[in-house]
């Protein structure tokens, strides 16, 4: 009798998150933007806080091999351990880290802020685990350009808006304010984009896509859906 084929417990996870699989267009842009900032930094102990499926930690380990990654979801930990061993992947609490103070030189926080229960507590814990002068690369997500313009006209702040349950958008200025409140010095401001015209579903999406497409070559960070910062922990 032949053995039944093993069930792939992660069959629903998009193939591009697997080791050595070709990247999708969004993932390629996200990696390029984050890794170009990381490569500017000297070697050191890195924490990927909210690692997703583990692909950025794995890519980051090529230049910064002393990396530890944590995420709140156990299933993501299981997948990342299967795909990207021997990088250490562990589950963290939703409301903080158990690492000692000043135990990392660099923290990566890539599109995690929209999901955390408390921005201030999350940033305070990043500051706590960074050594003095340590670096933070943080990306967040904002809403499409046209809706942001409309909210600015109507005087609403991005961070006060709840686009869908459990997700909070932050525009670049919200994120810069958050960093400054936690005494981070902003060294670089960047952004990354969804591929223009991909998955655009209606005329408004199309116009937003055009803003993103022309904003990128012109360096108009404000048009981008994913603000990105390199910051240094100040005293
Ligand atoms: C949009 S994904 C980004 C993943 C990864 N950083 C990347 O760029 O591919 C957001 C991640 O944040 C994690 N997350 C959400 N809330 C968290 C929390 N309170 N602490 C740590 N991770 C959290 C989610 O489980 C998810 O993996």
- pLDDT averaged over the chain? 87
Q: Residue 193 above 80 pLDDT?
A: no
Residue nearest to atom 5 of ligand 1 (CA): 52
Q: Residue 234 above 80 pLDDT?
A: yes
Joined together, the tokens standing for residue 53 give 């499926």
Substitution candidate for ligand 1 out of 23, 50, 169 with most atoms within 8 A of CB:
50
Given pLDDT bands bounded at 50, 70 and 90, which one contains residue 224?
confident
What pLDDT, on a 0 to 100 scale, did the predictor assign at position 235? 87
Question: Has residue 145 been placed in a domain?
Answer: yes
58 in contact with ligand 1, CB cutoff 6 A: no
Question: Has residue 154 been placed in a domain?
Answer: yes
Distance between CA 225 and CA 193 in Å, rounded?
6
Question: Has residue 16 been placed in a domain?
Answer: no
How is the beta sheet containing 46-49 ordered, strand by strand? 89-91, 67-71, 46-49, 104-110, 130-139, 226-233, 184-192
Q: Which of ligand 1's atoms lies nearest the C-alpha of 108?
A: 6
Distance between CA 4 and CA 81 in Å, rounded?
24
Question: Has residue 52 been placed in a domain?
Answer: yes
Question: Has residue 5 been placed in a domain?
Answer: no
Quick one: average pLDDT of 84-112?
97
Substitution candidate for ligand 1 out of 71, 74, 129 with most atoms within 8 A of CB:
71
CA 73 to ligand 1 centroid distance, Å: 8
What pLDDT, on a 0 to 100 scale, did the predictor assign at position 191? 84
76 in contact with ligand 1, CB cutoff 6 A: yes
CA 94 to ligand 1 centroid distance, Å: 10
CA 31 to ligand 1 centroid distance, Å: 15
Question: Has residue 208 been placed in a domain?
Answer: yes
CA distances from 198 to 17, 144, 193, 219, 220 (A): 19, 14, 11, 20, 20
Check: CB of residue 177 under 8 Å from CB of residue 186: no
CATH number assigned to the domain comprising residue 194: 3.40.50.150
Q: What distance separates the 2 farthest-apart alpha carbons in the chain?
A: 70
CA 25 to ligand 1 centroid distance, Å: 20
Q: SS3 string of 67-82?
A: EEEEECCHHHHHHHHH
Question: Has residue 89 been placed in a domain?
Answer: yes
Residue 95: count other Cβ atoms within 10 Å of its Cβ: 12
Highest-confidence range of 38-47, 156-165, 171-180, by mean pLDDT? 38-47
Distance of CA 187 to the CA centre of its chain: 17
Residue nearest to atom 19 of ligand 1 (CA): 94
What pLDDT, on a 0 to 100 scale, did the predictor assign at position 77? 98
Q: Which of ligand 1's atoms lies nearest the C-alpha of 55?
A: 9
Question: Has residue 179 been placed in a domain?
Answer: yes
Of the ranges 128-137, 215-224, 225-234, which one carries the lowest mean pLDDT score?
215-224
What pLDDT, on a 0 to 100 scale, did the predictor assign at position 212? 65
56 in contact with ligand 1, CB cutoff 6 A: yes
pLDDT digit string, tens, across residues 28-52: 989 999 999 999 999 999 999 999 9
CA 110 to ligand 1 centroid distance, Å: 8
- Total domain count for the chain? 1
Which has the higher per-residue pLDDT, 25 or 147?
Answer: 25
Q: Which domain holds residue 147?
A: 21-233
Q: Which of ligand 1's atoms lies nearest the C-alpha of 141?
A: 1
């Amino acid at each position: 009798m032949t053995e039944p084929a093993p069930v792939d417990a992660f069959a629903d996870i998009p193939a591009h998150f697997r080791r050595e699989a070709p990247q999708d267009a969004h993932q390629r842009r996200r990696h390029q933007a984050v890794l170009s900032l990381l490569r500017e930094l000297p070697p050191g102990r890195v924490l990927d806080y909210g690692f997703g499926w583990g692909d950025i930690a794995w890519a980051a380990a090529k230049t910064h091999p002393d990396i530890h990654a944590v995420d709140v979801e156990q299933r993501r930990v299981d997948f990342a351990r299967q795909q990207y061993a021997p990088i250490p992947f562990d589950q963290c609490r939703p409301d903080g880290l158990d690492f000692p103070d000043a135990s990392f030189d660099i923290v990566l926080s890539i599109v995690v802020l929209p999901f955390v229960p408390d921005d201030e507590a999350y940033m305070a814990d990043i500051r706590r685990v960074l050594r003095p002068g340590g670096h933070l690369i943080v990306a967040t997500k904002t809403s499409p350009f046209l809706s942001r313009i409309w909210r600015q006209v109507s005087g609403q702040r991005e961070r006060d808006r709840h686009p869908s349950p459990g997700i909070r958008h932050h525009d670049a200025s919200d994120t810069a304010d958050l960093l400054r409140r936690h005494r981070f010095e902003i060294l670089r401001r960047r952004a990354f984009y969804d591929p223009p015209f991909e998955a655009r579903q209606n005329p408004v999406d199309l116009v937003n896509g055009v803003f993103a497409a022309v904003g990128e070559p012109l360096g108009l960070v404000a048009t981008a859906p994913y603000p990105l910062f390199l910051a240094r922990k100040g005293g």
